[in-house]
Amino acid sequence: MATRHAHSLARTLLAPAVILLFIWMIVPLALTVYFSTLRYNLLDPGSERFIGFENYLYFLTDPAFLASLRNTLVLVGSVLGITILIGVPLALLLDQPVLGRNVVRLMVIAPFFIMPTVSALVWKNLLMHPVSGLFAWISGLFGVTAMDWFNDAPLLAIILIVSWQWLPFATLILLTALQSQDEEQKEAAEMDGARAPSRFIYLTLPHLARPITVVILIETIFLLTVFAEIFVTTGGGPGLQTTNIAFLIYSQALIQFDVGSASAGGLVAVVIANIVAFFLVRIVGRNLEA
Amino acid sequence: MARRVTATRLIVSTAAAWVCGFLVFFPILWMVLTSFKTELEAFATPPSFLFFEWTTENYATVQQRSDYFHHAINSIVIAGGSTLIALLIAVPAAWSMAFSPTNRTKDVLLWMLSTKMMPPVGVLVPIYLIYRNFGLLDSRAGLVLILCLGNLPIVIWMLFTYFKEVPKDILEAARMDGATIGRELVYVLTPMVVPGLASTLLLNLILAWNEAFWTLNLSTSQAAPLTVFIASYSSPEGLFWAKLSAASTLAIAPILVLGWFSQRQLVRGLTFGAVK
C-alpha cells in the first residue's frame, strides 16, 4: 500500500536529523556528567580518579559561584527590563503613521545583526572610554566628570551593551504583534469614547502579553550564556564583578584546566536553562498544530 | 481603511520615530565614521563628526597587519558550510514532518527545539576535549560541524513552518494526476517553498556568521573567523581605534545587508512560530 510506503519513506527522511541531534544532545552531556564525578585536571594528566559529588560541593560552595550567580541574575533581569520597557513604547511608536517608517525600522533593527565582539569593543572604546569616548565628551559638555565605565560600573557597562544588542529583537517582535492587532476593535473603542491610556491598558497590553512572554523566555535562554561581550571587554573582572556563570565555567575549564569542576558547573548551567526552557517549550507547544 | 491622521500627529510621531531610530543606530554610524579618520583624529576631544580629513588608510592597514581576507574567507566557509549542510539534513526532515505527520511529530519537534536550549557552556568541556583528541581544534571542519549542529533545530523549525503553509490540496491533485514523489517534489513543491528556503538560509547565515561562543573557544588563528579576528583587537597596542573601526565595519557590512533583507523572517525564525 502507498501509505505504508510513504510512512517508511517519511521515517527515513527524518532519521538523519533525529540521529544527529540525539548524538549531539546525549554524548557531550553524558561526558559532562562523567567528568563531573572525577578529579581531573588537564595540567596534571594521569591523576584522574572518581570523587563522587565533591566537584559539585566545591563548585556550589565556591564564593565565585554565588558572585557569578548574582551577576548572571542581575544581567539577565536588567537586560530583560530595559529591552521590554524601551521596546514596548518603541514598538508603539513605530506602529504609528510615520514618514519613512521602513528606514526607521532598518535603523532600529541594525544592532541585532552586529557580531557581539564588534558591539562590545566599539562600545567599550569609542563610546565608553573615560578620556576620549563620546560619552565622556557629552558629560563634559554638561560639566559632569566623565565616568570610567569599566572601572566604576563594569557590570552596568556590560548590561548596556547587551541591552543595545537585544532591544531590536524585543521591538521587532512586539511590533509584529501590534500589527496583527484588530484595528476595528480599537476603532470601536475609540468611537465609544475610550481614551488612549485606557485603550492601551485594556486592549493593547493584553494583546501584547503573549509576545512579551515569548520575548522574555527567548531572551533569557540567550542571556543566561552571554559570553563574548565579557570575554573581549573585562575578562570577568575587575575581581569577579562581571563574571557570570558561563564565564566562570569557561575560566575553570580553559584557564585553570579544571575539567571536573567545570563539568559540575556546566551541569548547573544546564539545570538553570532547563527551568526556563520548560516554560518556553510549553508556550510554543500550545501554539503548534502538527 | 481610512484612519484619521492629523498633520500634527504625523509630524510628531515621525520626528519621534526618527530620533529614536537615529539613537539606536548611532553607535554603528559612529563606528563607520571613525573608520575613515586618522588615529589621532579618532582619539581627539572634542570629536569631529563630519568635518575631518577622510582617509581610507585604516582599511589598507587592517588587511596588511592582520590579514583580514584570510579570516573573512574562514567566516564565509564556516557560516556558509554549516548552513548548507544543516539545510541538507533539515529539508527532508521538515518535509516528512510537515507532509506525513504522525502522532509523535509534535513531540519530535518540541524535543528538537529543546536541544537548542541547552547552554553551550554546559558541554564546553567534553566538546573541547573531543576536538583536542581528534585534532579538530582551530579547524574549519570542526567549526562547520558544531555550528551546523547548533543551528539545526532552528533550520528544521523554520522550514517546518514554511512547509506547513503549502496547501495540501495541490499535492493531492498532483498525486491524482499520477505524479511520483520525485516529480511532485521538483515541479509542485519546490517553486512553492523557495521563498521559505531562502529566508531560512539567510537567517542561519547571519546566526552562524555572528556566533561567538564556539568560534572564540575552538579556534585561535588558522580557522579563526571574523568574530575571533575582531576579538584580537581587545588587547590594544598604541592608538588603534580607527583600525578597530575599519576592521569592525568590514566584519559587519556584508551581514548587515543580508540582515536587512531578511528582517521580516527574523521574527518567525527566532520565535519558533510563537509570534506571527
Tens-place pLDDT, residues B183-203: 777 777 778 888 888 888 888
pLDDT at residue B163 is higher than 70: yes
Cβ <8 Å between A35 and B97: no
**Percent of chain B whose pLDDT exceeds 90:** 36
User: What is the DSSP annotation of B29-94?
Assistant: HHHHHHHTS-HHHHH-SSPPSS-S----HHHHHHHHHH-HHHHHHHHHHHHHHHHHHHHHHHHHHH
End-to-end CA distance of chain A: 24
Q: What is the rounded distance in angstroms from the CA atom of residue A113 to the CA atom of residue B260?
A: 9
pLDDT value at residue A11: 83
CA distance A182 to B203: 29
Of A99, A121, A173, the CB nearest to B267: A173
Set of cell numbers at residue A235: 575578562
CATH superfamily membership of A78-229? MetI-like (1.10.3720.10)
Nearest one of A122, A163, A224, A96 to B29, comparing CA atoms: A122
Distances, alpha carbon A40 to alpha carbons A127, B5, B71, in Å: 43, 69, 34
Residues in chain A: 290
**Per the structure block, which three cell numbers stand in for B267?**
521574527
List chain A residues with CB under 8 Å of B241.
125-126
Strands (E), chain A: 38-39, 49-50
Q: Which of B119, B130, B156 sits opposite A269 (nearest CB)?
A: B119
Question: Does A61 score more than 90 pLDDT?
Answer: no
pLDDT by residue (tens digit) across A151-205?
A: 889 999 999 999 999 999 999 889 988 888 777 887 888 888 888 888 888 888 8
Q: Do B231 and A262 touch (CB under 8 A)?
A: no
Give the closest of A108, A176, A283 to B24, CB-based.
Answer: A108
Chain A environment of B236 (Cβ under 8 Å): 125
Integer Cα distance of B63 and B247 in angstroms: 9
A-chain residues within 8 Å CB-CB of B58?
none
Using the beta-carbon criterion (under 8 Å), do B234 and A21 form an inter-chain contact? no
Residue among A243, A172, A108 at smallest CA distance from B25? A108
Rounded alpha-carbon distances, angstroms, from residue B37 to A122, B49, B62, B248, B250: 15, 10, 14, 14, 15
Q: What is the pLDDT of residues B203-249, one digit of tens each?
A: 889 889 999 999 999 998 889 999 999 998 887 666 688 889 999 99
Domains of chain B: 7-57 (no CATH), 66-271 (1.10.3720.10)
Residue A28 contacts by C-beta under 8 Å, 6 or more apart in sequence?
A: B123, B126, B127, B130
Residue-level length of chain B: 276
Contacts of B149 in chain A (CB under 8 A): 20-21, 24
- Please give the model's pTM, rounded to 2 decimal places: 0.88
* Residue A234: closest C-alpha in chain B: B234
Interface pTM, i.e. ipTM: 0.87
Residue B4 has pLDDT above 70, yes or no: no
Domain coordinates of chain A in residue numbers? 78-229
CA A153 to chain B, closest CA, distance in angstroms equals 19
Return d(Cα A162, Cα A246) in angstroms, integer: 15
B108 to A215, B17, B37, B253: CA distances (angstroms): 23, 43, 54, 37
Q: Cβ of A151: how many Cβ atoms within 10 Å? A: 13
The answer to whether A151 and A238 have CB atoms below 8 angstroms apart is: yes
Hey, of B4, B22, B33, B117, which one would you mutate to test binding to chain A, going by the most A CBs within 10 A of its CB? B117
Residues B145 and A23: beta-carbon distance below 8 Å: no
CA distance B46 to chain A (A): 6
Whole-angstrom distance, CA of residue A66 vs CA of residue B160: 41
Query: Are A183 and B1 contacting, i.e. CB atoms less than 8 angstroms apart?
Result: yes
Secondary-structure percent of chain A, ordered helix, strand, coil, rounded to 5: 75, 0, 25
Lowest mean pLDDT among A4-8, A206-210, B226-230: A4-8
Residue B103's SS3 state is coil
Interval B16-38: pLDDT, tens = 999 999 999 999 999 999 999 88
